[in-house]
Every structure is written in structure tokens, then in C-alpha cells.
Amino acid sequence: MTRTIEVVRVCPPYDHMRFRVLDRPLARLRGLLGTDADADPVALVGCHAIHTYGMRYRIDVAFVEREGYVLDAWCSLPPGRLLSCKGAWATLERPHSRGRWLAQGERVRLEGADGQEPVREEREMQQGEGGSK
């Protein structure tokens, strides 16, 4: 079963991005490693450092603290790098895209993370969005 969170910008433009949650140590260590450039974005929950050793493509990265502030953000990070960000509660990763990415200082709402709406299971999402939350 795949858990996901929605990342929603608090200020315009109010777009939503869905991330697959990786909250186990080995899953966080792997991140996007071994995937293709069309992989789903991932949220490394409980992670404040990442690497791109062994990656085959560039990625976009954002370090987010528990209250949703983006502490640091990188676009088009090449393979062979190591990054960390003190105070980060989660690290968001996606294959590099020309689409808008998060910026340092921006605030996001992490729906499905700690005390907010429960993290939704993939099969619930496949059944549609009808019904109450």
C-alpha cells in the first residue's frame, strides 16, 4: 500500500502536488534512486539530508520544516551531490521539471502529515474522491 501526502501552497498560486511518502529508513535512503525521470515525486518524512549518488537524472529538492516553511530548495540538482538542511522535517524530491517548484521561504500545507488529515492510502484515492473526509 502506498501512502501519499498532498503539498498545497499557502499563497498564490494555490497548486497541489502529490508525493509518495517514504518514511522507513531504507526507503528514505533509496529515495528516487533506481527510478526513471518520469518517477512519482517522493516525500522523505523524518529526513534532513539527501544524496544523488548513482542517480541517472537531475532532481528538484525542497527541505520543509514541520510547520510547512520551505527552508531550502534546489532545482535541477545533478547526480553525485550531498545536501543537508538543519531543521528540516521532510525532504521533497521530484525528477527535474520545468514546472514551478517550491522556493525558500515559501509556506506549504502538508495534508496527511502529523495531526492533519490522515495520510491516505493509494487504494482510497483510486476509489475516487467522493464521500466525506
- When divided into structural domains, the chain yields a total of 1
Q: Give SS3 for 48.
A: coil
> Which segments of the chain are extended strands (E)?
3-9, 16-22, 42-45, 49-51, 59-64, 70-77, 82-84, 90-95, 108-111, 120-121
Whether residue 20 lies inside any domain: the answer is yes
CATH number at 73 reads 2.60.120.1140
Is residue 34 in a domain? yes
Closest CA to 3 of 19, 16, 27: 19
Task: For residue 58, give its domain range.
Answer: 3-124
pLDDT in tens, 7-23: 888 888 788 899 999 98
User: What pLDDT is attached to residue 12?
Assistant: 82
**133 part of a folded domain:** no
- Structural domain contains residue 38: yes
Residues 55-95 have pLDDT tens digits of: 999 999 999 999 999 999 999 999 999 999 999 999 999 99
Inside any domain, residue 42: yes
Mean pLDDT of the chain: 84
Is 69 a member of any domain? Answer: yes
pLDDT at 48 over 70: yes
For the cut 70, the answer to whether the pLDDT of residue 126 exceeds it is: no
pTM for the full model?
0.81
110 by DSSP, 3-state: which?
Answer: strand
Kindly state the percentage of the chain with pLDDT values over 90: 63
